[in-house]
Amino acid sequence: MRPQAGKDSVIYVGATYVGNFIDKEVIFDIFDEANRYFKENDLPIRFVYFGKLEVGPGYLINIPTEEGNVKGYPLEAVIEALYAKLVSEIQRDSSFPVNRIFGLTTFPLVSRNPYFHIYEKFLGIQQEITGMRIMVLSIKPFESDNLVLVKNRVLKGVLHELGHGFGLEHCSNRCVMNPPRDLDDWDGRPLSYCSSCMRNLRSALLAEITLKK
């Protein structure tokens, strides 16, 4: 059920996933934890679950690596599917104020260079289409046998990409907006925005809420 009360004072972001998740509850937990973080820090952002995103297996491509072929999604296909999902949700309920969607996927995200015939790998990516912000994050680089660690890593990634979605740049502080050198660096990063990024995020949110009132 979509929230109604006070909807003009909250910015909603559609939440979805694509891929073969062994435990779908992990996805729900990540978005729930993000919402809990927003609430505890008085940030007027909330994820709203849109259901699973269907991207046909025909879109999967084989990526040659040193360990053999790995299946991945062309990020262009995922972006298009997310955009179509967002548009369909808006058409289903035009009164619901949402112009952003965030997708998680278990597969790597890649983009093929048509000139050099190589694949460039992406952890997360976002794009703006007709005034709507599309965000996607691959869980693949965060994999571990430790499920708690995986959720913590992905949640930081969600906050990072979402920060970009509201205009935040990379920073050099102890902050989720500081891109890591490696996973050990990421594991040591606090699950939070630094005071500077938090201030900029609050300003961006307030400006957007004021504009739509």
3-state secondary structure of 201: helix
Residue 124 gets the label, from left (phi > 0), alpha (psi -120 to 50) or beta, of beta
pLDDT at 3: 55
Residue span of the structural domain in which 96 resides: 7-212
Low-confidence ranges of the chain (pLDDT < 50): 1, 5-6, 115-119
Could you tell me if residue 197 is inside a domain?
yes
Asked, for residue 1, whether it belongs to a domain, the answer is no
Whole-model pTM over 0.75: yes
From the candidates 25, 54, 128, 161, which is the catalytic residue? Answer: 161
* Domain count within the chain: 1
pLDDT at 37: 97
* Whole-number pLDDT of residue 117: 46
Cβ-based neighbour number of residue 211 at 10 Å: 7
Q: What is the pLDDT of residue 207?
A: 93
The enclosing domain of 29 has a CATH number of: 3.40.390.10
30 is written with which tokens? 């990540």
Is residue 76 annotated as part of the catalytic site, yes or no?
Answer: no
Tell me the per-residue pLDDT of 196-206, one tens digit each, with 9 for 90 and over: 999 999 999 99
In three-state secondary structure terms, 135 is: strand
User: Residue 129: inside a domain, yes or no?
Assistant: yes
Residue 57 lies in a domain: yes
